[in-house]
Amino acid sequence: MERASGAVLVLSGPSGAGKSSLINKIFNDLGDCYFSISTTTRPMRVGEEEGVHYHFVSEEEFKKDIENDFFLEYAVVHGNYYGTSIKPVKEALSRGKLVLFDIDVQGNTAVNNRLGDITTSVFITPPTLSELKKRLQNRSTDSEEVVERRVKMAKREIQRISEYDYLIVNDVLDDAAELLKLIAVTARVKMSNDEINNFVQEWEDI
């Protein structure tokens, strides 16, 4: 996929890790950024809005978008489809923006396969599994069954932390936010293969 001078920052981690709170906290300090709003077939939670948290669609619509090659990546998470639309990401990258993704481990693999040279990835987790469970229960937007499913999933996801560039343990939100800001700054200056090749070429020509 073509790239101008933008960069990608992937954030993954179990639901309840506090990714959304972190993103909301630092978003205005990150400079020229685009947060990728995913498309999902999951039902809308209380407090969520169409086009803000997700684009909520039917399974039929989602499958049509897959056929039309609309997604940079998509995956089934907790039994629902989630996907990242290519078009707005391409546009944001061509404008030199830092593109933020909140996607799962499967999505991180797919994004790295396509945009690995401009991608920095961060896994965000609460300090312990019991803390995660407590946060999910306190959120009270999901049934006990859904909470259990998410906890089980978290145990599996945590096994794949080594696939990420950084790990942030979100214990104290302010500390985690400071760390994420630093990582976002470095993500922007990560050099793409094109930039490296051009630099070497120009350097030799001088």
Name the minimum Å distance from CB 84 to ligand 5GP.
4
Which residue's CB is nearer to ligand 5GP, number 137 or number 193?
137
What is the 3-state composition of the chain as percent helix, strand, coil, each rounded to the nearest 5? 50, 20, 30
Q: Which residue has the tokens 């020509």?
A: 205
To ligand 5GP, the closest distance from the beta carbon of 94 in angstroms equals: 20
How far apart are the C-alpha atoms of 18 and 1, rounded to whole Å? 30
List residues binding ligand 5GP (CB under 6 A).
Answer: 12, 15, 38, 42, 73, 75, 77, 82-84, 102-104, 106-107
Q: In the complex, which residue's CB is closest to ligand 5GP?
A: 107
Give least dist CB 131 to ligand 5GP, A: 17
87 vs 206, beta carbon nearer ligand 5GP: 87
Select from 121, 114, 82 the least CA-distant residue to 100. Answer: 121
What element of type H or E holds 8? strand 7-12
Smallest distance, ligand 5GP to C-beta of residue 181, A = 20
Q: Which is nearer to ligand 5GP, 38 or 120 (CB)?
A: 38
Return the beta strands (E) in 13-159 as ranges.
Answer: 33-35, 39-40, 55-56, 71-77, 80-85, 98-102, 119-125
Q: By C-beta, is 39 or 192 nearer to ligand 5GP?
A: 39
Nearer to ligand 5GP, 112 or 192 (CB): 112
CB of 22 to ligand 5GP, least distance (A): 12
Minimum separation from the CB atom of position 191 to ligand 5GP (A): 26
Dihedral of CA atoms 128, 13, 19, 123 in degrees, nearest 10, equals 90
Cβ distance to ligand 5GP smaller for residue 5 or 86: 86
In terms of Cβ atoms closer than 10 Å to its own Cβ (0-12, 13-18, 19+), residue 16 is: buried
Q: Three-state SS for 12?
A: strand
